[in-house]
Chains A and B, each alone.
Chain A
Amino acid sequence: MTELKKPVLEAKNIEKFFYNPTETQVLKKVSFSVKRGEFVSVMGKSGCGKSTLLYILSTMDTSYSGELFMDEQMITGKPSDYLSHLRNEKIGFVFQFHYLINEFSVLENVMIPGLKLGKYSREEMEHRAIEKLKIFDMQDHALKKANQLSGGQKQRVAIARALINDPLIIMGDEPTGNLDKKNSDIVYNIFKSLAKDFNQTMLIVTHDPEFAEGTDRTIEMEDGRVIRQ
């Protein structure tokens, strides 16, 4: 049980300003933590800073003040190569848009982060990628090019890609935002089962109250502040 209580991600007093066109503060002293195995959603109106927060947490945006810990290690102020490696190894991303690379097959798209990490041989990686695709019932499409899939299928492949390196945490930026009701439900159920069956830690930004309801915990934001968590 102690293992589960450990914080995976911890934000302390995160502040962020936009300077263009005028100085505006988008995040005001945001602090919270995500524990291992938790399925957390971040809710809020459009423009409340939730996406901005996610990109800071994802280590892609480094121009903020405050402190960020991942796996109990301080990652604020680390060099970009270190952060790249960290993203590769410990974070899985799912975006609103699928961002698959059209020139590659589904299987290769899933494998790329794994090949980049280089922990397993190519054959082993292929096997693992097929395993991940099986979770989403996508193994039959493995050899298709990414642009031959439907929107919902693409998003499922994107989630499989996020899982390939068995990340510490999966971050999603409105992963169902671009999908119709049916596909949105499929993706939602995938997240649910990931949380339940694989005990995967997840942090998902959404403005869909239904989606948020099904998560362990909802962090609500308004005007750059956390108002409830």
Chain B
Amino acid sequence: MERLHSRLGLFSALPMLVVLGLCFLAPLVVVAAFSVMPRKVFDLAHLPDFSAYLVFFQQGYYKPLFWSLGMALVSTVILFVVCWPLAFGMAKVFRRFTLVLTVAVVVSLFVSENIRLFGWVLTLMKGGLIEGHWRAFTGEGFESPLYKVPIIIFGLVYVYFPFMLFPLAQGIAMVPDDARQAASDLGASKWQILREIDLPLAAPGIVVGSLLSFVLAAGALAESKLLGGQTVIVIADSVETAFTYGQDWPLGSALSMVLILIIGAMAIFGISRVDLDAIIGRKR
């Protein structure tokens, strides 16, 4: 009986597994297969020779990878620091104002990322909203912050803000007020409550928020293109170049695979450390 039960489970999951296999795994398999093909071929009917991976090391493609991962890490840390107080407020303090905040943040997602970023370009550029007005009032201009690394990180923080904020708020909401009060009654300082109650109990939210923003930022392209003027080349840019101007699908696939493997490993490691069921709300 027990065995039949588990089989029934598998059978009912079958349609979903097929859909997932087709929609999610198939493209990945194609990319993986292309990545081991000889360079500059456009079909899979060749003997694999892994030459595209060799190119990754020989031609310094680790540099864009470093920039992507580095900027993603910095932006994730900044996002965490910026979002924590706000998420805490949303989960524990603001009450009905939380809804206003949620709507305000979600509404920004209605406008395409590129348009929002171009809005920032128009705001920050020389002669733009800020510098133009400043010059009109004072007669003195100043250099725009565009086309430098910090502005790319600003762009990442700005675009991926909701992806950190909401999981974090969800995570903090899971911290029972009783636990915090008990800690306080027992003489814990605010710092101790944060470190020993809030952070560990909100861990699923922290992990989900950090993973989402890190993964998205590592594959981001528009921020470095629009705000950064490609002052550094990110890995997504190299992938795009390989597929288009380079007409080298295996190289583009190999670069994608390297990123997928690194991020996949991090995601699996991160998720294995927390109880995701807790945040999704399934009771055990």
A, B from the same assembly = no
